[in-house]
Each structure stands twice: as structure tokens, then as C-alpha cells.
């Protein structure tokens, strides 16, 4: 139906002839954008200042939501941790995202030593539209035949044991979803205390023009309780999720 | 979905006699209800979160026209399309047209109650399109040819053995036994479908007006598959499901998820801000948002019922309800069962069809106590009972008959005068005396036989209190 007619029916149902010019004070946490901006600034500073404590909180919350938590003292240790997870699950094929932390950790070298075939999925700027489309189709096939997906991420939420990833160029939505095992690498300083800080930062970022096509909050392996309320992991997403915390 | 609210009584009797269903209801109570109470106790400032949630929803609904326009503008700005649908048929016709234009062969669904309202699956199948539900519970229900039993746990009433038969028959592979094996089997079956689907239809747990986003909450990951694999993503939402700001999401997700399953957070929360970015590797090329009215304006118009639009569809009122836990989800006869269903269904179908639902409540208040946005459901059930008796100005929509209304009118007259009351009780004593057995009325003739079918009524005393009181006062005076 026509949008105008739909909206004017709602206005009329609310006892007026048209939408109000302003909705009045919003009862949420940040009715004023300036307040949100300064609160976001404070949240970022706090997260940096309390990074060690928050990392410990995150480690225990992540374990509660079903993540296998691995600790690495330095970025140099990450390669070995990932190699040993891959060994444990007999992985032969892996797919990685373009997150920088994976380059810093030189996981390509570590997995090559382990004999794991590691691929990434980069759409070259130079590709023609047809080539891009072919590359996308190939990627979608490949990701379902891969043993493990390896990614970084944007935040970890200590309140809920959650990894947050924005899908974007180089960060496929499927790498953390389709393979039976997902390994994420995150470091100290990326932990936020709660969902309040996450959605505050997202609110401010989007309004400041830093908008992604979406955001995924991942809290442990995929699960279902739809058959006689028995909890089973891995219905559509990964059966097993690992997170390596650096620092 | 065609409503069958009229047959509530017979459907409820059937459910009450079904031992398997009664066991499933225990799972709802012991699982979800207790988990919700534990999660609430475990959350800092739970009451403050509820209060904030209620304030956000009150504010949004009071400005629904304003925020819907904002939402539509922002979805379009993000490169998505918006369609406003007056009802299910209107929404279906949009999806059909879209599917035909894009030569869609296979549609995957990720749990959407609005698409149940639309009866979308049936319509698309008529057009020769394959439609597959991907939430495991919904998939089981689809294979069984039924409707969801509970909005969070659609297949809670099915046994493992029934599921095993359904999956084996559909896949033509060996019959599996344990929940674990059956889940693996379904995983393989559905992965095959994900890879060839051209279009997905999802619901939206929230839409955010300021950013034109929708938010999907799932545990299984089918919401993520639906927003990663197919070329076209269609989200269908009821027009009340929006909130103003992304900053509101923390409180809203907390109260929704903790009230639904007692988890701190679901395994996946997926926010979609439109179609994929041009340089992204995967994700839908097209995003369509359908915003549906389908009778919701009737709730908006009636100030005494408007609060029902605050509902965030967590299912907590069902899990808490002593009536739902006995009569089960199918008895209510439409998409939304339980206490909140007893408000939205009769308003959707008209009270003449749906008046039995608001009556099927003990008004114990457990739903009000459980509701994460503090909807006063018992107050509205009473309001609907009152409207059933007299409220609807259209006599054709009045559910109570002429005889019933006259009876209550006479009752009112009788109760308002001492003389008429005494006369009435004398007549009552005479009329009931042939039915009296040991001080009880055990079997009354129609139209009141229904009352004595399941319980006895105390017979009027030989001497009424009024009479005894008068006699004794006189005796004292005479002394």
C-alpha cells in the first residue's frame, strides 16, 4: 500500500492529522548526541585504562558462553596456539579473514609449517565484474568445504562473553559461520565491559559516517534445543569455537 | 494463517487429555520460566532495565508515525527498499512479485512470526517456489504440516521419534536416533538448501529508526546464513517492532533474550544495515523491508489496548501462564498464543470470534510480573471481557447474547434493593429445592448445567443470613 496512506492512518489512529515535527525527549540513555559522543570517548579511555582487568573478565565470560579460551602472552605465540588447535581437529583446509592481527601473528607461516592449506578470499580491485562474481561463487563453495575459519574481530564484550565482527571487505560473513570450527584472535585493549558500551560506540560511529553493512555478535558455538529441549551444538554455524586472547 | 480462535474450548480439552503435551508444557515451565527468573536475578539493575525498556517502547508507539517515516527514509538511504503492507495479502503480493521478477526458485525462511500471519509459505508454494524453514523447530513443524506451538520453541510438543521419522522421510537417508544425530542430519539437509537459495525471508526482532537497521536474534545461526548466502534478503516486521536508537539496543536485547531463554545473550545477534557493501565478499545484493499493519492499528486506536504494541515477543508470559501450561499453544488458534495472544488475537479476529481467549485466564497476574516491558496484560484481558459484554458499538460484534445481557441486567436490579434481593433469594430457594442433595446442588438443568458439570454448588441455606440476623436481634430485644 501507499506509504503516505499507511502513515496517515497511523497518525489518525493516534488522534492527530500528521506526524509530529519532533517526538519529544527520547527516554533512552543518550537523548542528546553530544552526550553520546562524550560518553563514547570516556568509554574508549576506560576500556584502554582497564584493559588488563577487562581481559580477565572477558576470559571467564567467554568460557561460560562455550568458547574454548586460549591465552597467548605475546603475538608471536599465537601461531603455535592456532597450529595446535588445527592439529587437534585434524584440519587440512583453513580459510582466514583479512584482519590485520592475523598478519601480525604470521599465521600463514605457522599453518604452512603445520601442513594446513590456508586460503583467504580477497576481491582484487582490478577484477572485472564478471571475475568478481565468479570469485564470489567460488568462495561460497569453498567455505563449505573448509575445516576451520580464522578471524580477528572488533570487540569482545566482557558482560556476555561475545565476539563482535563487522563484515566488510576482506572480512567475509561466512568465514566465521560455515566451517565447523571457528578460531578468533583478539588482544588486550579490544574488550568492552558491556553491551551498553558496544551499542554506544556503534551509535556514535554510525552517526559519524563510519557505517558497516552490518554487525555480528557471536557468543560461542551455534546451538539448538529444538528436539526435546536437548542442547546440541552446531546446527547451522560452528560446532566448536576457539578464541585466542593475546596480552 | 486462518484463525481458529472460536474453537478454543474443544482444542483446550483435547490438549488437556494429551499426556505427551502435558509433559512438553512442563519443559516450558521448568526450562524457560525458571531460567528467566534466574537470569533476572543475575542481572544488575534488572528492574531499571525493564523500566527503561517500557519507557522506550511507550515513547516509540506514541510517536509511531514519526519513527516509521524515519526508519523508511534511513533504510532507503542505506540502499534498501521499504514496502508498507496493510495486511498479509498485501505483504504476500509484494514478495510474490519480487520473486517472480528475480526468477526465484528457492526461498529460505528464518523464523518470522509475521510471515506466519501472512501465510507466506503456502502462497509461494502455490506459485511453484520451494520454501524451506531453517530454524530447526520451524523446519520440523513444516515437515509435519503444523503451526508453531510456542513462539520460542515451535516444536516443543514433538518427540525425538516423531522428528526422526520426519527427517528420514524427507531426506531419504537412514533414520537417526539421538537429538545429536538428528541435529547433524538436519544440518546437512539445510546446508544443501542454503547453498542454492536465491532469496531469504526473515523476521526482525528490532528495527532501528535512526540507522535503518534490523536486528535478528538466533541461537542456531540461521539468521546469519539468511543474511549471508542468498542474493535477496527480505525482512518482514510488524509495524510496532521498532525502537529509535542503536543505543537503545543494549537494554532491549538484555530484557528480550534473558526473558526468552534465560541466556545472558543468544549465540548470535545480527544487525543488518542494508544490502552488502559493494566491495564485500558475500551478503545479499538486495535488501527489502516489509512493514506490516494487519490489524495492529486497532490496538493503536484503542488507548486501553495500545500497550499491547509494546510486546517484544519473548514468550515469557506464555511460560509463566498457568493456563498456557495446561492448554498449550495450539488451543489459542492463531499465530500468537498465551496471555499476549489472548489480547492480540481477539482484536485481530474480532471479539465475536475470539472472545473465549480473554475469558481463559485466572487473572493471576503472572504474565504482568514476567513481562520484560511490564505490559499489564490482566488489565487488558478485563477490558476485552468488558468489551465482549457491551463495549463494541457494532451489535454484530458483540459476543454476549441478548438473553445473557438481560440476565445480568436483572441481577443488577435485584442486587440494588433489599426487598428485591430478599424476594430473589426466596425464589432461588424454592426453585433449587428439588435439586438439593445433602446440602449441594450437583446437577442443574440447562442453561446452567455447564457450571455443575465439573463442580457442585452449595444449596441455599434453609434460613438466610438476613433472616437469622433479624430473628436473633428480635430475640435479644425480647429478653
pLDDT, tens digit, 9 for 90 and up, residues B49-90: 999 999 999 999 999 999 999 999 999 999 999 999 999 999
pLDDT of residue B329: 87
pLDDT of residue A130: 87
Helix (H) or strand (E) holding A68: strand A68-72
Cβ A13–B300 below 8 Å, yes or no? yes
Cβ A161–B159 below 8 Å, yes or no? no
Task: Kindly give the pairing relationship between strand A232-233 and strand A223-224.
Answer: antiparallel
> A with B: how many residue pairs have Cβ under 8 Å apart?
267
Q: How many residues does chain B have?
A: 479
- Among candidates B224, B246, B254 on the partner chain, residue whose Cβ is nearest the Cβ of A202: B246
**Residue with cell string 528480550:** B256
For chain B, domain boundaries: 43-296, 314-397, 402-478
The span from the CA of B208 to the CA of B245, in Å, is: 6
Cβ A139–B281 below 8 Å, yes or no? yes
Beta-carbon contacts of B284 under 8 Å, excluding residues fewer than 6 positions away, are: B200, B227, B230, B231, B232, B233, B275, B276
Chain A interface includes B198 (CB < 8 A): no
- How many CA atoms lie within 13 Å of A107's alpha carbon, on the beta-carbon side? 31
Q: What percent of chain A has pLDDT over 70?
A: 100
- Nearest-CA distance from B187 to chain A in Å? 5
pLDDT of residue B52: 97
Provide the residue range defining the domain that includes A189.
51-246
- Nearest-CA distance from B397 to chain A in Å? 20
Residues of B with CB below 8 A from A142's CB? none
Chain A interface includes B99 (CB < 8 A): no
Look up the CATH number of the domain holding residue A108: 3.40.50.10420
In which order are the strands placed within the sheet that holds B213-218?
A191-192, A155-157, A162-165, A214-218, B268-272, B213-218, B206-208, B242-243
- Among candidates A23, A212, A217 on the partner chain, residue whose Cβ is nearest the Cβ of B66: A23
Q: Which residue of B has its CA nearest to A202?
A: B246
In a domain, A9, yes or no: no
The span from the CA of A106 to the CA of A148, in Å, is: 17
Chain B interface includes A151 (CB < 8 A): no
The span from the CA of A81 to the CA of B85, in Å, is: 53
pLDDT of residue A218: 98
**Per the structure, how many domains does chain A have?**
1
Question: pTM for the whole thing?
Answer: 0.91
SS3 sequence of B358-420: HHCCCCCCHHHHHCCCCCCHHHHHHHHHHHHHHHCCCHHHCCCCHHHHHHHHHHHHHHCCHHH
pLDDT, tens digit, 9 for 90 and up, residues A71-97: 999 999 999 999 999 999 999 999 999
Mean pLDDT of A9-15: 97
Which CATH number describes the domain made up of B43-296? 3.40.50.10420
Chain A interface includes B166 (CB < 8 A): no
What Cα–Cα distance (Å) separates residue B44 from each residue in A129, A192, A197, B47, B367?
A: 51, 17, 15, 9, 22
The span from the CA of A190 to the CA of A157, in Å, is: 9
Chain B interface includes A219 (CB < 8 A): yes
The parts of chain B modelled with pLDDT lower than 50 are none
In a domain, A46, yes or no: no
In which order are the strands placed within the sheet that holds B457-458?
B436-437, B440-441, B457-458
CB atoms within 10 A of CB B315: 27
In a domain, A82, yes or no: yes
Residue B457: is the preceding peptide bond cis (ω within 30°)? Answer: no
The span from the CA of A183 to the CA of A88, in Å, is: 13
Residue B306 region by backbone torsions, left for phi larger than 0, else alpha for psi between -120 and 50, else beta: alpha
Chain B interface includes A4 (CB < 8 A): no
Amino acid at each position: 500500500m501507499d506509504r503516505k496512506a499507511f502513515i496517515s492512518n497511523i497518525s489518525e489512529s493516534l488522534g492527530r492529522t500528521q506526524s509530529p515535527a519532533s517526538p519529544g525527549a527520547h527516554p533512552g540513555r543518550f537523548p542528546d548526541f553530544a552526550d553520546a559522543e562524550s560518553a563514547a570517548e570516556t568509554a574508549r579511555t576506560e576500556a584502554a585504562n582497564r584493559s588488563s582487568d577487562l581481559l580477565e573478565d572477558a576470559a571467564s565470560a567467554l568460557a561460560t558462553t562455550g568458547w574454548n579460551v586460549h591465552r597467548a602472552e605475546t603475538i608471536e605465540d599465537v601461531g603455535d596456539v592456532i597450529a595446535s588447535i588445527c592439529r587437534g581437529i585434524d584440519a587440512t583446509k583453513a580459510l582466514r579473514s583479512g584482519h590485520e592481527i592475523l598478519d601480525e601473528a604470521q599465521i600463514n607461516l605457522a599453518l604452512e609449517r603445520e601442513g594446513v592449506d590456508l586460503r583467504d578470499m580477497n576481491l582484487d580491485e582490478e577484477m572485472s565484474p564478471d571475475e568478481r562474481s565468479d570469485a564470489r561463487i567460488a568462495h561460497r563453495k569453498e567455505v563449505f568445504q573448509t575445516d576451520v575459519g580464522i578471524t580477528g574481530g572488533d570487540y569482545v564484550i566482557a558482560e556476555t562473553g561475545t565476539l563482535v565482527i563487522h563484515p566488510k571487505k576482506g572480512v567475509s560473513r561466512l568465514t566465521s559461520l560455515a566451517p565447523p570450527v571457528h578460531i578468533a584472535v583478539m588482544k588486550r585493549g579490544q574488550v568492552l565491559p558491556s553491551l551498553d558500551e558496544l551499542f554506544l560506540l556503534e551509535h556514535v560511529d554510525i552517526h559519524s559516517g563510519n557505517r558497516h553493512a552490518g554487525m555480528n555478535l557471536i557468543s560461542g558455538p551455534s546451538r539448538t534445543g529444538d528436539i526435546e529441549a536437548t542442547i546440541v551444538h552446531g546446527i547451522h554455524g560452528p560446532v566448536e569455537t576457539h578464541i585466542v586472547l593475546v596480552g | 494463517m486462518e484463525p481458529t480462535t472460536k474453537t478454543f474450548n474443544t482444542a483446550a480439552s483435547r490438549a488437556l487429555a494429551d499426556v505427551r503435551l502435558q509433559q512438553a508444557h512442563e519443559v516450558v515451565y521448568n526450562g524457560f520460566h525458571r531460567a528467566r527468573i534466574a537470569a533476572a536475578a543475575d542481572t544488575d539493575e534488572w528492574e531499571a532495565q525493564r523500566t527503561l525498556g517500557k519507557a522506550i517502547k511507550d515513547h516509540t508507539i506514541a510517536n509511531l508515525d514519526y519513527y516509521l517515516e524515519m526508519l523508511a527514509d534511513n533504510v532507503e538511504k542505506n540502499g534498501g527498499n521499504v514496502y508498507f503492507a496493510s495486511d498479509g495479502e498485501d505483504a504476500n503480493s509484494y514478495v510474490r512479485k519480487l520473486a517472480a521478477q528475480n526468477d526465484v526458485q528457492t526461498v529460505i525462511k528464518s523464523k518470522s512470526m509475521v510471515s506466519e500471519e501472512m501465510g507466506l509459505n503456502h502462497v509461494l508454494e502455490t506459485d511453484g517456489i520451494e520454501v524451506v524453514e531453517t530454524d530447526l523447530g520451524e523446519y520440523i513443524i513444516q515437515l509435519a504440516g503444523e503451526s508453531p506451538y510456542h513462539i520460542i520453541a515451535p516444536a516443543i510438543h514433538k518427540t525425538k521419534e516423531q522428528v526422526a521419522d520426519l527427517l528420514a522421510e524427507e531426506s531419504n537417508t537412514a533414520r537417526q536416533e539421538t537429538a545429536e544425530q538428528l541435529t547433524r542430519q538436519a544440518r546437512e539437509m539445510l546446508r544443501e538448501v542454503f547453498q542454492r537459495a536465491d532469496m531469504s525471508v526473515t523476521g526482525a526482532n528490532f528495527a532501528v529508526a535512526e540507522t535503518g537497521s534490523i536486528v535478528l536474534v538466533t541461537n542456531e545461526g540461521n539468521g546469519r546464513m539468511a543474511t549471508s548466502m542468498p542474493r535477496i534478503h527480505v525482512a518482514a516486521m510488524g509495524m510496532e517492532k521498532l525502537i529509535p536508537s542503536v543505543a537503545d539496543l543494549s537494554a532491549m536485547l538484555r530484557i528480550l533474550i534473558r526473558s526468552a531463554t534465560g541466556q545472558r545473550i543468544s549465540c548470535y545477534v545480527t544487525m543488518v544495515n542494508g544490502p552488502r557493501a559493494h566491495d564485500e565478499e558475500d551478503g545479499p545484493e538486495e535488501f527489502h523491508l516489509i512493514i506490516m499493519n494487519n490489524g495492529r492499528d486497532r490496538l493503536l486506536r484503542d488507548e486501553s489496548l495500545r500497550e499491547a504494541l509494546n510486546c517484544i515477543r519473548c514468550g515469557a508470559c506464555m511460560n509463566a501462564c498457568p493456563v498456557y501450561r495446561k492448554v498449550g499453544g495450539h488451543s489459542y488458534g492463531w499465530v500468537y498464543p498465551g496471555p499476549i495472544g489472548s489480547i492480540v488475537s481477539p482484536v485481530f479476529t474480532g471479539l465475536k470470534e475470539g472472545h473465549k481467549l480473554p475469558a481463559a485466564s485466572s487473572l493471576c497476574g503472572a504474565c504482568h510480573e514476567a513481562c520484560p516491558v511490564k505490559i499489564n496484560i490482566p488489565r487488558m484481558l478485563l477490558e476485552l471481557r468488558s468489551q465482549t459484554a457491551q463495549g463494541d458499538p457494532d451489535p454484530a460484534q458483540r459476543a454476549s447474547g441478548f438473553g445473557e445481557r438481560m440476565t445480568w441486567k436483572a441481577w443488577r436490579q435485584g442486587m440494588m434493593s433489599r426487598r428485591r434481593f430478599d424476594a430473589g433469594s426466596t425464589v432461588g430457594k424454592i426453585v433449587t429445592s428439588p435439586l438439593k442433595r445433602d446440602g449441594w446442588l450437583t446437577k442443574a438443568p440447562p442453561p446452567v448445567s455447564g457450571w455443575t458439570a465439573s463442580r457442585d454448588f452449595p444449596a441455599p441455606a434453609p434460613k438466610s443470613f438476613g433472616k437469622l440476623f433479624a430473628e436473633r436481634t428480635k430475640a435479644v430485644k425480647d429478653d
